[in-house]
Amino acid sequence: MNEERPLLTPPTHDRRILLHSCCAPCAADVMQEMQRSEVVFEVLFYNPNIHPLKEYELRKTENKRYADRLRVPFVDLDYDKDDWFARVKGLENEPERGARCTLCFDMRFERSALYAVEHGFKVFTSSLGISRWKDMDQINGCGERAAQRYPDLSYWTFNWRKGGGSQRMIQISKEQRFYQQEYCGCVYSLRDTNRARGARGYAKIRFGERFYGDDQS
Q: What does the pLDDT look like over 36-80, one tens digit per residue?
A: 999 999 999 999 999 999 999 999 999 999 999 999 999 999 999
pLDDT in tens, 90-99: 999 999 999 9
Domains and CATH numbers, the chain: 12-199 (3.40.50.620)
Distance CA 117, CA 121 (A): 6
Distance CA 33, CA 8 (A): 7
Cβ pair 44, 115 in contact under 8 A = yes
Distance CA 217, CA 212 (A): 6
Whether the link from the prior residue into 48 is cis, omega within 30° of 0, is no
pLDDT in tens, 21-34: 999 999 999 999 99
Return the half-sphere exposure (C-beta side, CA atoms, 13 A cut-off) of residue 147. 20
Distance CA 141, CA 136 (A): 8
What is the maximal distance between C-alpha atoms in the chain?
54
The full DSSP string for 146-160 is HHTTSTT-EE----T
- Chain centroid to CA 36: how far? 20
pTM value is 0.94
Cβ pair 49, 84 in contact under 8 A = yes
Confidence bin at 217 (pLDDT 50/70/90): very low
What's the DSSP call for residue 8?
A: P
Of 20, 74, 32, nearest in space to 176 by CA: 32
